[in-house]
Structure 1
C-alpha cells in the first residue's frame, strides 16, 4: 500500500513554520552560548526581534524550543528508517536512520550544533526531556521494524523494541563521544565503530523468545 502524499501547506502555514524556525534558531543560539538557566524569554525575544506575545504563540516555554529541536531529530530518524530498502539488514537500515541527526550535526561547521548538543547533554532538565523523547522514538522505530519484517514475522516478541533500543544506545554513545571531543572526533567513524559492535545482535536470526 502506498501512502498518500501530504497536502501542500497553505501560505499561512508556511509563514507560521518560517517564524517558528527563526524563533527556534535565535533561541537555540542564545541558549547554547549563554546557558539554559541564564537565559530569559525576554532575552530570547530581543535576540529574535519579536514580541513576547509572538514567542508564546509558538512555544509554551524556553524548554519547548529544545523539545521542538528534539522532535525534528526524531522525525528525521523515523522518516529515514521508513524509506530504507525492503530486505536491508536491520543494522544497515538503523545505522542510516540514526545517522540523520548525527550527520546534520557533523555538517554544521559553525559549531552551533555542537553547542546545542552540549546544552542538551549537560542540562539535567533538557537531558531528561531528551531521554523522554528517545523512549517515544524507540517505540516508533520498533513499530517500523515490525512493518518492514512483514506480516509473517508477527510482532517478533521483544526483538523490535530491543533492536531499536540498541540502535539508540549506539547513537547516544556516539553523540556523547563527539561532544566530549569538542567536535574533533569523526562522527561517521564513531558510528561505524558503534554499529560494528551491535550489528551481530541487530541482525540475529531471531532465535529465542
Structure 2
C-alpha cells in the first residue's frame, strides 16, 4: 500500500502547491518527487521508492471529494488541451531528469553512463501518466492509489532488476 503524504512531504507539497487553495490544480514540481525519493529508506527496492515518489503527485487526485473533483476537471483540461499537455510534458522532462539522478545516487550508478536510472525514471513517469489518464478517462471513478499500485506492480520486476545486484548494463 502507498504511504500517505506525511508531515515530511506535506510542507514541501503545500509550499509549492499553494495554488490548490485558490482553486487551481497544482502538479508537483520535481523538487517534491525528488524530496520524496531522497527520503525513502536506502535499502528499499527501486520500484517501491519510485512508486512512493509518484504517489505524492497522485495524492492530489485522491485528496477528498471536493478537491478530487476540482483536480479531475483540471487534469481533464490539461490532458485534452494540446498547449497545456505540452507544458505538462515539459514538466515531466524535468521530473525525469531529477528522478534519474536521485535513482542513480540510490543505486550507486553513474547517471551519465548507465542507462538504468534514466529508464527507471522514464518508467515511473510512464506509470504516473498512465494512471493519471486512466483516472481522468474514468471521470474519477477509478481509485488513483489502486491505479498507481497496478502500474508499479507491472513495472516492479524490471525496476528492481536495475539495481547494483541486478542487470544494469
Q: TM-score, normalised by structure 1?
A: 0.65
Q: Which residue pairs with 1:207 in the alignment?
A: 167
Between 1 and 2, higher relative CO (CA 8 Å, sep ≥ 6) is seen in: 2
Going from structure 1 to structure 2, the CA distance change for 1:149 and 1:106 (only over 3 Å counts) comes to same
Q: Which residue pairs with 1:87 in the alignment?
A: 43
Q: Which residue pairs with 1:11 in the alignment?
A: none
Identify which of 52, 58, 68 aligns with 1:96: 52
Q: Tell me whether 1:114 sits opposite 2:72 in the alignment.
A: yes
Going from structure 1 to structure 2, the CA distance change for 1:188 and 1:139 (only over 3 Å counts) comes to same
Q: Which residue pairs with 1:165 in the alignment?
A: 122
Q: Tell me whether 1:149 sits opposite 2:107 in the alignment.
A: yes
Provide the aligned length of Structure 1 versus Structure 2. Answer: 148
SS in 2 for 1:191: helix
Q: Tell me whether 1:78 sits opposite 2:38 in the alignment.
A: no
The alignment yields a C-alpha RMSD, in angstroms, of 2.2
Residues 113-152 of structure 1 show CA distances to partners (whole Å, capped at 9, x for unaligned) of 11111111111101001111111110100100111123xx
- Contact 1:159 1:206 (C-alpha < 8 Å) held by counterparts: no
- Contact 2:58 2:132 (C-alpha < 8 Å) held by counterparts: yes
Higher helix share: 1
Distance 1:23 1:84 in 2: 26
Going from structure 1 to structure 2, the CA distance change for 1:127 and 1:22 (only over 3 Å counts) comes to closer
Distance 2:101 2:62 in 1: 28
What are structure 1's unaligned runs of at least 5 residues? 1-16, 29-65
- Contact 1:77 1:101 (C-alpha < 8 Å) held by counterparts: yes
Residues 42-73 of structure 1 show CA distances to partners (whole Å, capped at 9, x for unaligned) of xxxxxxxxxxxxxxxxxxxxxxxx7xx33x34
Distance 1:121 1:139 in 2: 22
Q: Which residue pairs with 1:25 in the alignment?
A: 22
Distance 1:119 1:25 in 2: 17
Mapping for residues 31-50 of structure 1, pairs under 5 Å: none
What are structure 2's unaligned runs of at least 5 residues? 1-14
